[in-house]
Amino acid sequence: MLTDTVSHRVESRGELNVVWCALFVVAFTALPILAHINLPLVDLPNHIARLYIAAMAPENALSEYYSYEIGLVPNSAVDLIWLGLGAPGDVTRFSNWVMASYAVNLVGSTMALARVIHGRWTRWSAAAGLLVFSAPFFWGFQNYVWSMPFTIYGIALWLGMERPDWRRYRFAVFLIYAAAVYLMHFFAFGFLAVAVFGREVQLALASKGSVARRLIRLGVQMVPFVIPLVWLLVMLKSGPESPAELLNGFGYIADRIAVFTSPAIAPNTQSFPALNLLGAAVLALLAVFVWCLRKTDGPRLVLEDKARGVLIALVLLSLVAPTWLNGVAFVQIRAPVLTCAVFIACTSWRGLSRGQLRGLVAIIAILICARGIAFERFAYRYDAEVRDMRAATGTLSPGDRVLPIRAEVGASDLRLSHLQGLLVPQADVFVPTLFQGVHAITLLPQWADHAHPALFAVDFRLLADDRHPTAPYEFVQNWDKKFTHVLLLDKRQKALPASLGLNQVREVGRFSLYRVEPSFRQSMSGQ
C-alpha cells in the first residue's frame, strides 16, 4: 500500500515536470512568433494575400484580376480554416496566430507520439522545440508547417491502433484521417504514408507466412493512402495546365546539403547572423544525439523497436526527396524536420547520471530560449520595415498595379522577396508575384502577361531592357504600359535612371514608391 502511494507520487511529480517542460518550450517558441504581427518568413506575404483574396467581396477592385474557388486542393489547410471561421479579423494577425499554433502543435504532437511509443509522457520529447525555427518555417511554407504536426499525430494514431481491440477500426479511421491530411497538404499526407509504409514493412518482415500473403496484407493496409493518390492523379490528368509548369528535379549538391541543414538553418537571415549561429549549434547538438544512438554503453539514446521502421523510412525519404515536384520548390527541406521530430519522439536516454541529465536539460533549454529571443529581435526589425513600406505606399488606390524591384545590392536578401504581397490586403492593389498553379487562386486570363507564377521582386536593371524580345520575364516586357507604380525595396546610393520615366511619390526608410510615366519615358527614348 505504501509502495503504491510512493509510486503514485513519483509518477505525479514526473508528469508535473513534463508539463513545466512543455510550457517552457511553448513560451520560447510560440510567444516570440506572437510578439510582432509581421513575421520575417519569405513566402508568408503571398499566403496572406491569397487568404485576403479568398474572402474578398465581388465588388472588390481585385476581382478584376483574380478569382478564388475553394476546392479539393491538396494544399488547403489554412485556407479551409480561414474560410471555415468566416475570415475572422485581420488576415495578417490571423496568419500570425496560425504560425504560433504550429509551434505549439509541433511540440505537442512529438510529445503525443512519444507517449504512444513509450507508454508515458517524457520530458525529452519536449526537445522538439529545437526544431520550430526550421528552414520550412523561415521560408513561410504556411500550409505545410501547419499540417506537419498532423503527420506526427497520424503516426501516433497508427501505432496506437495496433492494439487488438482497436485494430479492426483502423482502416475506417484512416480512410477519413488520410483524406483530411491530404487536403491539408500533399507532402504532409505523403510523409505520413511513407512512415506508415515503413512500419508495415517492418511488421511484414518480422511476421510468418508466405511472401505473397505478407504482400497482400501490406497492400490492404496502404489502401487508405492509395485512394487520395489516385484522386490526385485524376485531378492532374483532367485539370488545366498549371502556370507553375509542373517542374520536377533532384537539384544540385547545394540542395543535398540543405537536407542536413534544414532542421535549424534559415535562408533569409543574412542581416541577422545570430539566428543561424544558434541554428548551427542546434545542428551540432542533433549530430551528438545521432552519435549517442550508436553507443552501447554510458550515456546513450535507445531507439524503441516499435518505431524503427517509421524512422528508417523517413530517413530514406529525407535523403532521396527531389528539389522540385510538380512545380513545388524546396521539397527536399521538408521531410528532415519531421524526421528529427520523430527521432526525438521514438528515442529515450539511458545511462545518464544526475549531473549529465541536468547538463543536457540546460543545453537544450538555453538553445530554445536563445533562439526564441533571437527570432523575436529578427521579427522586430522586420516589423519596423513593414511599417516603413506601408507608410511609403500609403497613397496607392484600389486597383493600382505595383511592380516590385530590387537594387542590385539587396537582391540576395530573401527577407523582402515577397513583401509586396502585403500591399494586397493593405490597399487592394495588384502585384505580379503572387503564387499560381499550386493554390486555389487564379489570375484571370487577360492579365496573364502581367504576372509570374512564382517569382520574387526583380532586379531594377531589367526595366531598362524590357523592350528587347529576349527579356527574361514576360511581365517585365513593356512594364511601363502594364503597371501604374514601381516599388523599390532597397535603398540606393544613386537615383534610378531618368530614362525609366519614374516619378518618385514617397520615400520612407529603405522603400521608395514611384509613379510610372510612360509618356515621359517615350519622350526620353526619342531624344
What's the rounded Cα separation, in Å, for the pair 416 and 401?
18
Report the percent of the chain where pLDDT is more than 90: 73
What does DSSP assign to residue 325?
B
φ and ψ of 22, to 5 deg: -65, -45
Q: Are 384 and 47 in contact (CB under 8 A)?
A: no
Per residue in 30-55, pLDDT (tens digit) is 999 999 999 999 999 999 999 999 99
Q: How far is CA 316 from CA 234, 483, 517, in A?
A: 28, 47, 55
How many CB atoms are closer than 10 A to CB 494? Answer: 6
Is-contact 45 38, C-beta < 8 A? no
94, 51 contact by CB (below 8 A): yes
Chain-centroid distance of CA 88 in Å reads 22
Looking at residue 233, what is its pLDDT?
A: 78
Least confident of 228-242, 255-269, 312-326: 228-242
pLDDT, tens digit, for every residue of 249-267?
A: 888 888 899 999 999 998 8
Nearest Cα residue to 413 out of 385, 372, 453 = 385
User: Rounded CA gap, 175 and 170, in Å?
Assistant: 9
| Contact present, 399 and 206 (Cβ < 8 Å) | no
Q: Are 480 and 502 in contact (CB under 8 A)?
A: no
Q: Which three cell numbers stand for residue 274?
A: 545570430
Q: Rounded CA gap, 376 and 289, in Å? A: 27
* 3-class secondary structure per residue, 90-146: CHHHHHHHHHHHHHHHHHHHHHHHHHHHHCCCCCHHHHHHHHCCCHHHHHCCHHHHH
pLDDT mean over 137-141: 96
CA count, 13 A, side-chain hemisphere, 405: 25
pTM summary value: 0.93
Give the burial class of 13: count Cβ atoms within 10 A of its Cβ; 0-12 exposed, 13-18 middle, 19 or more buried: exposed
18-24 long-range contacts, CB within 8 A, separation 24+: 18/111, 18/121, 18/122, 18/123, 18/126, 21/123, 21/126, 22/107, 22/108, 22/111, 22/126, 24/126, 24/365, 24/368
Cell numbers representing residue 90 in the block: 485581420
* In contact, 51 and 142? CB cutoff 8 Å: no
pLDDT top residue among 526 and 348: 348
Q: Extract the C-alpha cell encoding 23.
A: 510550457
Cα–Cα distance, 475 to 473 (Å, whole number): 6
Average model confidence (pLDDT) across the chain: 90
Amino acid at 312: I
Rounded to whole angstroms, the Cα distance separating 426 from 430 reads 11
Exposed, middle or buried, 408 (CB in 10 Å: 0-12/13-18/19+)? exposed
pLDDT of 188 over the 60 cut: yes
Q: Name the grid cell of 268.
A: 533569409
Residue 414: predicted pLDDT: 86
User: What integer pLDDT is reported at residue 387 of this predicted model?
Assistant: 97
Residues 483, 401 contacting (CB under 8 angstroms): yes
| Measured distance CA(32)–CA(373) in Å, rounded | 7
pLDDT more than 70, % of the chain: 91
* 424, 62 Cβ separation under 8 angstroms: yes
The pLDDT tens digits of the residues spanning 109-126 come to: 999 999 999 999 999 999
Q: How far is CA 428 from the centre of its chain?
A: 25
Between 482 and 73, name the one with better pLDDT: 482
Beta carbons of 500 and 463 less than 8 angstroms apart: yes
Instruction: Detail the DSSP E strand segments found in 398-457.
Output: 402-406, 441-443
Work out the number of other CB atoms within 10 angstroms of the CB of residue 297.
Answer: 7
Q: Residue 487: in which H helix or E strand, if any?
A: strand 485-488
Q: The C-alpha cell of 158 is what?
A: 497508427
Residues 421 and 46 sit within 8 Å (Cβ to Cβ): yes
Any idea of the CA torsion for 339, 345, 346, 352, to the nearest 10 degrees? 120
Predicted confidence (pLDDT) at residue 462 exceeds the cutoff of 70: yes
Residue 5: pLDDT band (50, 70, 90) is very low
Angle at 27 between CA 22 and CA 28, to 5 degrees: 105
Question: Is the pLDDT confidence value at 409 over 90?
Answer: no
